[in-house]
Amino acid sequence: GAVVSQHPSRVICKSGTSVKIECRSLDFQATTMFWYRQFPKQSLMLMATSNEGSKATYEQGVEKDKFLINHASLTLSTLTVTSAHPEDSSFYICSARDPRTPNQPQHFGDGTRLSIL
């Protein structure tokens, strides 16, 4: 079964709206979660590393004021796309690694399809 849950799976909203995406680890505590973005027919690109209790680490070129990340608990990280515009339309995916099995691969959520009209 899924060990990383992402919600919502799809969002369609008007330009200028802020959208929040949740990523939950279901049966483990994750001090670190990762947020990726995938444009059509392109690779998954890491946007930021979400750290529980501290600031997220953003990849080069990703605007931290645009993509707000909050990791307030050991099982939940949220990504808020602020004042979203059509160019922010993409597939957003989170992942986390179970610290009990650090040598095992990361678990991915099922992603959120964001469409800005």
**Sole binder of other proteins in the list 13, 20, 28, 46 (CB under 8 A):** 46
> Does 42 help bind other proteins (rule: CB under 8 A)?
yes
How far, in whole angstroms, is CA 109 from its chain's centroid? 9
Residues 92, 110 contacting (CB under 8 angstroms): no
Structure tokens at 65: 């004021």
The stretch among 14-22, 69-77, 80-88, 92-100 that binds other proteins (CB under 8 A) is: 92-100
> Does 102 help bind other proteins (rule: CB under 8 A)?
yes
> Does 103 help bind other proteins (rule: CB under 8 A)?
yes
Structure tokens at 71: 């990791």
**Sole binder of other proteins in the list 4, 19, 84, 114 (CB under 8 A):** 4
Give min distance, CB of 111 to other proteins, in A.
Answer: 5
Residues 116, 14 contacting (CB under 8 angstroms): yes
Measured from the CB atom, the residue of 38 and 82 that comes closer to other proteins is 38
Closest by CA position to 93, among listed 74, 71, 73, 113: 113
Give min distance, CB of 109 to other proteins, in A.
Answer: 5
User: What span, in angstroms and rounded, lies between the C-alpha atoms of 2 and 32?
Assistant: 18
Which amino acid is residue 37, in one-letter code? R
Q: Tokens 């994750």 map to which residue? A: 30
Which residues of this protein are in contact with other proteins, per CB under 8 A? Answer: 4, 6, 9-10, 32, 34, 36, 41-46, 49, 91, 93, 95, 97, 102-103, 105-111, 113
